[in-house]
Structure 1
């Protein structure tokens, strides 16, 4: 039984995802959300290492279950001559390949970009690594935490009297995955719309995605000699930061302009604060941060979270509750926007996961399936992509099944 035809703006785009764990597979999952036919190529008998990553239910990794959504699974050993040749035949039919091996690994296996390009000059290869394909660090192993530290972001995170802290999620991987999607679609556009009819390599490193978010920091250092340090809250505006309600809930308040501060002063019942020389402009408010934030702390401490949200939202002051996942699952805005979608899984039953992002008005993305079983679509893919008969597929699988992966 074949998989239903894919819908969406990327329907017809064929992707071979030979990557493991997070960054590159995340980029492939985004492409799959919008209709690309993504084939998850996995090692026979083992699969992607993320399949063995917690949390688990019924021996199924929930992490992998979401990461590999909308994909089909094909098992091949790329180091085996038969598997290697099958992969290159698939490359001939593909638009994109996503990989995140240590630079030089595919070349060692005889599957580098030049080899793929010789079989398909139109192939676009997304290469995600810790430090990029070139440079003195290119052969070093890089993961999310090390890449975040190398990017400069970790140094800025936390409090000045404590060690730097890293993100509680794999921020470097997910940001790199987003830049990989940008690179992939840019390369496909150049190939198909600008009509070069040629593929190319897209080199994405984990640290560079985060470093791009540092934005003006290189200019600030080069022009002004400033090395930013950890601060409890950003120094650019006030009041700004986390404030506790009387019921114990936290909220974040952000007042970045004088007009917003005027509205905040009205909401606090202290309209005179807008004329106070200590608070008249953002610059002087930053200089008198402790004074203005003490007033905010007192006001917040006399009200519940819901009361604060109602009053400040009515006044047009940017404020938000600090949510945990239980809050998110119950929030009416999340529900109205359908940010969480529930997908039926053959092992787990209904599984909740984030919906496709971004929203397209005419050709939206869609989460159709959870992760496939290991090798679930091997015969289907070899038939559809390569036109192999069932007898040929059985012969190949008998050969591959008799070889032990090391």
Structure 2
């Protein structure tokens, strides 16, 4: 086992530890079978061909719920062959979260798209042995169990790298592998609150607000995919490079996005708080309501856009007003400015407001719900909603693959697998017979 030292404030998240194995051992023969060795043909075949940048990369996703699995899904979108490993009882919490229709977990289906599914209880001795035997065929292992769980199951990082010295092990937890909170359970709303993110949402002087979606999970998932892509790039550049342990804290992932908080606190003595839909760094920027009750966001923070806004609203005197003539002054006198803008919008229907703002090239948008997104001609033209093939429903709608690469025609992924759906297919690639699978199933290993 690797002994973990105390956390350091100077560490960069996510932290990466390289596998401690000798290159001599690799040269002795292991690396010629490395999945990232272009000359190797010892590989698992994917059920569909891909042309994505991560084609040929094989990921074993043994994480649960949403954050880490969504990172593996993003990689699958770009060509990685992802195998989803679950416990045989199908107890992953995401399978039991709404929306559910006729017992089918719709969120699971779209969140785990493009993956093949197997079952394996790695806590059992035969399950642990089977996992270790499979690892040489994978490039990446993704897990999100509480710190120390894998060690207790006999799957510490040294053991994993003994099985595959080039393995990238991404460990996504709420608070990381070190520090006083390393063993705490992590949920999106917990690390949204702890990161400082939730403190910025809501009305001034009232309770902070969470979103009706686990934003923290989604952000951590993006960092997970970034971590995988970065480490794959490193291994592809050097056929003798060793694998590593990626220590990814979901709390740190969210905090990483909040660049100005620390510097404005230290240098200016400021603590940023929620101010409703306004901002304290630029103005005008707010949520407004039209005469007919439509809510829309508008931003006119640059000087050029503010000039055009004054022209559009027929308020040229604002340009000469000493309270509003610079961006800094507009922040100081935000109440007077914003109240005037809001009152102007409240007296007009949204259709007239939209036409005027478009004419003067002022950034704005109605606050969309999913019905607006589906009906919007721009989203339609770009195919922002795709149809995922599904054995139960024929197909299900889901967001498109992001980003797009012109000239690269990406296949549409199918929905996430049923519990153990690909056991026979995947385990056959490791030499297990139907009789072997029946034996493992009887023992509750798969």
TM score, norm. by length of structure 2: 0.86
Aligned with 2:200 (options 156, 163, 181): 156
1:135-284 alignment runs, 5 A limit: 135-232=179-276, 233-284=278-329
1:342-362, CA deviations, whole angstroms, 9 ceiling, x for partnerless residues?
123111233111011111113
Is 2:397 the counterpart of 1:352? yes
Give the count of matched residue pairs.
401
1:41-63, CA deviations, whole angstroms, 9 ceiling, x for partnerless residues?
11113253211221111211111
Judge which range, 147-156 or 281-290, deviates more. Answer: 281-290
The alpha-carbon deviation at position 23 of structure 1 amounts to 0.7
1:365-376 alignment runs, 5 A limit: 365-376=410-421
Q: Is the 8 A contact 1:69 1:367 kept in 2?
A: no
Are residues 167 and 241 of structure 1, via their aligned partners in 2, closer, same or farther at CA, if it must alter by over 3 Å?
same
Name the counterpart of 1:381: 426
Q: Is the 8 A contact 1:153 1:211 kept in 2?
A: yes
Name the counterpart of 1:330: 375
Aligned with 2:384 (options 329, 335, 339): 339
SS in 1 for 2:433: helix
Q: Is the 8 A contact 1:243 1:253 kept in 2?
A: yes
Aligned with 1:83 (options 127, 135, 145): 127
Name the counterpart of 2:433: 393
* Separation in 2, partners of 1:271, 1:224: 34
Aligned with 1:46 (options 90, 113, 120): 90
The alpha-carbon deviation at position 195 of structure 1 amounts to 4.5
Q: Is the 8 A contact 1:159 1:231 kept in 2?
A: yes
Q: Is the 8 A contact 1:34 1:364 kept in 2?
A: no
TM score, norm. by length of structure 1: 0.94
Q: Over aligned residues, Cα RMSD in angstroms?
A: 1.8
* Separation in 2, partners of 1:90, 1:5: 22
Unaligned runs of 5+ in 2: 1-44
SS in 2 for 1:252: strand
1:27-66 alignment runs, 5 A limit: 27-66=71-110
Q: Is the 8 A contact 1:58 1:348 kept in 2?
A: no
* Separation in 1, partners of 2:167, 2:336: 60
* Separation in 2, partners of 1:7, 1:87: 28
The alpha-carbon deviation at position 322 of structure 1 amounts to 0.7
Unaligned runs of 5+ in 1: none
Is 2:166 the counterpart of 1:122? yes
